[in-house]
Amino acid sequence: MAKLVTVQEAASMVKDGMTIMVGGFLSSGGASCIMDLLVEKGVKDLTLICNDTTFPDRTHGKLIANKQVKKVICSHIGTNPCTMEQMNSGELEVEFVPQGTLAERIRAKGAGLGGVLTPTGIGTVVENGKEIIKVDGKDYLLEKPLGADLAILGASVADKCGNLFYKGTSQNFNPLMAMAADVVIAEAGQIVETGKIEPECVHTPGIFVDYIYLKK
């Protein structure tokens, strides 16, 4: 399958009501080009799974600022006042998940697990509505896997087979999300011939990536 597409073709795959994973931490490791097109397209009622809601004028923060998102599952929202305003007004549902738990729930989906057990959140509002399982006399929350219709990743380098390399901390959440979505799209700062990325530098194998496009 030819994996190289245009950013316009990638944006056309995002439909109203989809659940989308967005990689990165704040705007590092996120995909920026496609977000501008999604704002123009006006796709709506999205559910975003992300570490954070970044800033109103960057990456997926623009979708929230433009009120195209109905729900966010994330670990914090403090850098985007639009998220807070919409949450407080009831326009946007926000599900807070401790950062480590968020990563593990995504990993669990990719690994085909039924969930993960964690003590984080025991005795707090985080445990409301969740199953508590006792192991060796200690209580744990059963946190269920998180999957998505589509993942949008930000890679530093991709080859034409879809193998991805992330520079520095830009790999935050990207490799996990590549394993947990039905369709995976990567925005790459550079696209090289297959074999140009050293095997030990491949953070996401191409088997997990469906489409790539070059960041403009």
What secondary structure does DSSP assign to 94-149, as a single string? Answer: EEE--HHHHHHHHHHHHHT-S-EEE-TTTTSGGGTT--EEEETTEEEEEEPP--EE
Tens of pLDDT, residue by residue over 179-200, are 999 999 999 999 999 999 999 9
What is the pTM for the complete model shown? 0.94
What's the CA gap between 190 and 213, in Å, rounded? 9
Low-confidence ranges of the chain (pLDDT < 70): 1
Domains in the chain (CATH in brackets) are 7-97+146-214 (3.40.1080.10)
Q: 57 and 63 in contact (C-beta within 8 Å)? A: no
Distances (CA, A) of 19 to 79, 116, 142, 151, 207: 22, 21, 22, 9, 21
- The whole-number pLDDT of residue 1 equals 61
pLDDT of residue 169: 87
